[in-house]
Amino acid sequence: MRGVMLLVGVVWVGLMVYGLVKPLPVGLSVAGRQVAASEAGVEFLYDLTCRRSGELVTEQRIFARLERIIAEAERFLLLDFFLFNGLRNPEQSFPPLASALTEALLRKKEGQPQVDIVLITDEINSHYGVEEPEHFQRLRQAGVRIISTDTSRLRDSNFFYSPGWRLFGQWFSSAGPGWLPNPFAASGPKMTLAAYLRLLNFKANHRKVAVSEKEALLSSANPHDASALHANIALVVRGEVLREVLAAERAVAEFSGHTLPEWQADTAGDGGPLSLQLLTEGKIKERILEGLGRCGEGCTVRMAMFYLSEREIIGALLDAAERGAEVRLILDANQEAFGRRKGGIPNRPVAQELLSRSRGKIGVRWYRSSGEQFHSKLTMLTFPKQSLLLGGSANLTRRNIGDLNLEACLAVQAPNEAGIVREVAAYFERLWENEDGLYTHDGEQLGTPPRWQYILYRFQEWSGMSTF
């Protein structure tokens, strides 16, 4: 028996090490070519929920723009979304984002059946293999090809757990009927034990991308009813960068066992003063660190972020502030998650660390939530002549930018007088200054997080035993 236990231990450690360093599938963690673009080649969009004169007000732009992309497509549509479902608790009421997008795609297939439509998504929408949701069945019947990402090909974020799953758990089917409560909503289908075991790997295709032959949208927003009131951002681009977006999505399809058609995008453009670059997975972190490393006196750092926890990013923010850069962060308080209370990890202990270690040089404001999340993922670095904008799906956490999850962001380099730079700066200042509504607060009512939260955050960030 002792020999068997020793053998299992050796295999477990071997799988743990391999899961952390195994080669990524071809086409992941890429920095695309930097392509020139005119100011007309990129748009900035955002969704907001706030209070004005005591009333809850929403501004929804992103999915209206996505429906326009769908309506105007003539040859193909490729969508890649992490959450695409209408799951909610019975007592909750949200705009029906999932059904609205489903109906838009069905109308497209009915009116223009020649348009090739592919949906890449994460197995979270099938409750990790319990059952395919009804709206996916309808789309499939209408001729939409649906690809479930093979996340087993990704590295292990929860590296203590995943070796045991590979040794003992992966051999069981997770298909229903289940008997365990659904962790996402009480009204969701019951889960099987095997589905729970798959979930605990904490692997995800976390991208939020839509691309046609004419333009692409990269966003922080999911077509998920319970996320409908979240604050989010998106960038819409045209031109040569579409080739890069398609190549990145083709890689996901291929390692998941599917081959996409050789679609041709409309990449003609007149160049211009802007530079666009697609970044995925770990290359997102590399570009932000490179930019922060150049920030000093006369530079500004603005971040609007749902999760901020990655240790090298935190160090780079502190270094930039020490060199004289103005650093301001708008963060979610991490207190709400689809109607459930959370404890403030990781943002509250991280913010406390930044405030303390910078001796007040870093400014932090918190988004005022009415149950929704400040789900934006946006970084803006302003230098004396140019700015670097980076937005998309990726939180700044080990899991999101450490070559673990699948992520996609767009980097935009532009002169400071460019319209896109002014728009993003105005968005940030509107929230920071509460210009026409109650958006942010200074955090005084949150108090100082207890020391145990910081210790727990550091362990969860390091070990992957968390959902951030």
pLDDT in tens, 374-419: 999 999 999 999 999 999 999 999 999 999 999 999 999 999 999 9
pLDDT at 103 over 60: yes
Calculate mean pLDDT across residues 171-178. 87
- The answer to whether residue 96 sits within a structural domain is yes
Helix (H, G, I), strand (E, B) or coil at 21: helix
Residue 316's pLDDT band (cuts 50, 70, 90): very high
Calculate mean pLDDT across residues 127-153. 96
pLDDT at 183 over 60: yes
Pair (426, 312) in one structural domain: yes
Pair (161, 250) in one structural domain: yes
Judge contact between 33 and 244, C-beta under 8 A. Answer: yes
Measured in degrees and rounded to the nearest 5, phi and psi for residue 43 equal -125, 145
Calculate mean pLDDT across residues 160-164. 92
pLDDT of residue 50: 85
Pair (170, 51) in one structural domain: yes
Least confident of 111-120, 185-194, 420-429, 456-465: 185-194
pLDDT at 338 over 60: no
- The answer to whether residue 23 sits within a structural domain is no
User: Which of residues 188, 221, 255 is at a domain's end?
Assistant: 255
pLDDT at 335 over 90: no
Q: The domain that contains 368 carries what CATH number?
A: 3.30.870.10
The residue among 444 and 234 whose pLDDT is bigger is 234
Calculate mean pLDDT across residues 212-234. 96
pLDDT of residue 381: 98
Judge contact between 416 and 385, C-beta under 8 A. Answer: yes
Pair (294, 430) in one structural domain: yes
User: Which of residues 187, 221, 255 is at a domain's end?
Assistant: 255
- The answer to whether residue 145 sits within a structural domain is yes
Pair (297, 432) in one structural domain: yes
> Residue 350 corresponds to which tokens in the numbers above?
């991280």
**Separation of alpha carbons 368 and 441, rounded Å:** 7
* pTM, 2 dp: 0.96
Pair (239, 281) in one structural domain: no
User: Which of residues 205, 228, 255 is at a domain's end?
Assistant: 255
pLDDT at 217 over 80: yes
- The answer to whether residue 164 sits within a structural domain is yes
- The answer to whether residue 268 sits within a structural domain is no
pLDDT of residue 70: 98
Least confident of 202-211, 270-279, 371-380: 270-279
Calculate mean pLDDT across residues 309-327. 98
Calculate mean pLDDT across residues 138-167. 95
Pair (248, 351) in one structural domain: no
Pair (188, 224) in one structural domain: yes
Closest residue by Cα to residue 67 from 223, 294, 231: 223
Pair (293, 202) in one structural domain: no
Helix (H, G, I), strand (E, B) or coil at 234: strand
pLDDT of residue 280: 98
**Separation of alpha carbons 332 and 316, rounded Å:** 20
- The answer to whether residue 439 sits within a structural domain is yes
Residue 270's pLDDT band (cuts 50, 70, 90): low
- The answer to whether residue 29 sits within a structural domain is no
The domain total for the chain is 2
pLDDT at 9 over 80: no
Pair (341, 197) in one structural domain: no
- The answer to whether residue 264 sits within a structural domain is no
Residue 148's pLDDT band (cuts 50, 70, 90): very high
What percent of the chain is modeled with pLDDT above 70? 99
Domain extent at residue 117: 42-255
**Separation of alpha carbons 150 and 24, rounded Å:** 12
Calculate mean pLDDT across residues 29-34. 96
pLDDT of residue 337: 66
Pair (204, 315) in one structural domain: no
Pair (235, 348) in one structural domain: no
